[in-house]
Amino acid sequence: MRSNVQLRFTLNGEPVEASFAPYKTLLEVLREDLGLTGTKHGCELGECGACAVLIDGEPQLSCLALALECEGRSVETVEGMARGATLHPLQAAFADLGAAQCGYCTPGILLTAKALLEKEKQPSRERIREAISGNLCRCTGYQQIFEAIEEAARRMNEGPR
């Protein structure tokens, strides 16, 4: 029988320990061992972007990352975006402006967009297109996603009301 390995890392701002089979991807550990099913999968081959999470603030495909690589690092998933019951401005804008239709690619796009807005306060439409070009969405045609990211940037720049 194989034996599990132990991992300590920061997950959505909190220290977490997990025990799992060593071959598991971060995606699998998040969904299966930690019960955070907000992170989705569409291929498990790094093709669709649905599983994107932030590792130390950078968007990464959790289906291609071994969980073991995350020892001591900081991982953020969609479950960690809201502050208490208050949605992150990106989440609110996505919900308000139709950027989430089926909602399946949404967590990956939200986190990718969050990383972008943390680097650039007012990204151009072109920068937004580039930033999420690794996240496939089959529902929206992307227009409402672009608009929601722009609206979130605007709301974030206005600061808390």
Binding positions for other proteins, rule: CB under 8 A: 21, 31, 35-45, 47-48, 50, 77-79, 81-82, 87, 91-92, 94-98, 100-107, 110, 128-130, 132-146
Smallest distance from other proteins to CB 113, Å: 11
> Quick one: 65 or 145, whose CB is closer to other proteins?
145
**Spatial distance between the Cα atoms of 109 and 106, rounded to a whole number of angstroms:** 5
Smallest distance from other proteins to CB 152, Å: 11
Smallest distance from other proteins to CB 159, Å: 21
**Spatial distance between the Cα atoms of 5 and 62, rounded to a whole number of angstroms:** 18
Residue 25 to residues 9, 31, 66, 104, Cα–Cα distance (Å): 14, 10, 4, 19
> Quick one: 9 or 31, whose CB is closer to other proteins?
31
**Spatial distance between the Cα atoms of 158 and 27, rounded to a whole number of angstroms:** 34
Smallest distance from other proteins to CB 31, Å: 8
> Quick one: 32 or 69, whose CB is closer to other proteins?
32
Give the pair of three-digit tokens for residue 11: 């997950």
Q: Give burial (CB, 10 Å; 0-12/13-18/19+) of 83.
A: exposed
